[in-house]
Amino acid sequence: MDQLSALEDQSIYIFREAFNKIDKLAMLWSIGKDSNVMLWLARKAFFGHVPFPVVHVDTSYKIPEMITFRDRMAREWGLEMVLGQNRAALDDGMGPQRGRITCCTALKTDGLKAVLAEQGYTAVIAGIRRDEDGTRAKERVFSPRGLNAEWDFRDQPPEFWDQFKTTFPPGTSLRVHPILHWTELDVWKYIRRENIPVVDLYFAKNGKRYRSLGCAPCTAPTESTATTVDEIITELERTRTSERSGRAQDKVSEDAFERLRAGGYM
């Protein structure tokens, strides 16, 4: 058995556990490569079906190509899409000029909390990975969230032998992380093996490409000449810069990302 198949089997197992154990389950769809790999894995787990809705939190600042791609995929794959947006904050003029962390919290975290509450989801599947950042490296596969969606990283439940925490007090919720154990390189190798569609922004144009996709004002493309999946893989095998290096909100201070995540960010 090769590494990619081992990763895939483990992810399928997690998807099936979540689907069996959780009544109101949804998947977060950021439209990035990781979300698309997750959708693909869900279809593997459920024999071509995606048996839960996909939630997209629209900050209104997404790069336009992402929205076009989202709507095309939703149609082609027959997804039940649920859109969330923090309208009140946007009407009030929320944007990165108010501070990147403030903006991220309002438009993404609060936007997410609102749509989860509105729809009554008790667990959401999110495509975070341990290799992205030091706090994500400490995550659980089934990660409980408090009454206000906050993450108590100082006291996480034990999780071993693939026996996940699937019961939790009323009012609290879960995040499920089926690709926590994957790396960026694994994701691209799997995209190559399975031929999974991804948005064009990942491929280099004029010497730059996006390594990680977020909102336009806070996501910068990185230097690259990789125009195909193969070239991206070769590039990643050599690089020593980190994936989220193009994400401005992480760099506001040493603990900026930790605080974002403690507050309920993915």
Question: Residues in the site for other proteins, rule: CB under 8 A?
Answer: 1-3, 5-6, 8-10, 12-13, 16-17, 19-20, 43-49, 130-131, 133-135, 137-138, 140, 153-154, 156-161, 163, 165, 167-169, 181, 183, 194, 240-242, 254-255, 258
> Which CB atom, from 163 or from 228, has the smaller least distance to other proteins?
163
Rounded CA separation 223/245 (Å): 11
- We find the least distance from the C-beta atom of residue 133 to other proteins, in angstroms, to be 7
Q: Nearest-CA neighbor of 251 among 220, 224, 225, 223?
A: 220
- We find the least distance from the C-beta atom of residue 244 to other proteins, in angstroms, to be 10
Rounded CA separation 183/34 (Å): 10
> Which CB atom, from 16 or from 24, has the smaller least distance to other proteins?
16
Rounded CA separation 16/222 (Å): 36
> Which CB atom, from 19 or from 203, has the smaller least distance to other proteins?
19
Rounded CA separation 208/186 (Å): 22
> Which CB atom, from 10 or from 86, has the smaller least distance to other proteins?
10
Rounded CA separation 55/206 (Å): 33
- We find the least distance from the C-beta atom of residue 59 to other proteins, in angstroms, to be 26
- We find the least distance from the C-beta atom of residue 236 to other proteins, in angstroms, to be 12
- We find the least distance from the C-beta atom of residue 131 to other proteins, in angstroms, to be 6
- We find the least distance from the C-beta atom of residue 199 to other proteins, in angstroms, to be 20
> Which CB atom, from 168 or from 203, has the smaller least distance to other proteins?
168
> Which CB atom, from 17 or from 34, has the smaller least distance to other proteins?
17
Q: What one-character-per-residue DSSP string does 196-258 give?
A: ----GGGS-BTTEE-SS--BGGGB--EE----SHHHHHHHHHH--S-GGGGBGGGGSSTTHHH
Amino acid present at 260:
L
DSSP tag of 110: I
C-alpha distance from residue 165 to each of 123, 157, 241 (Å): 12, 8, 34
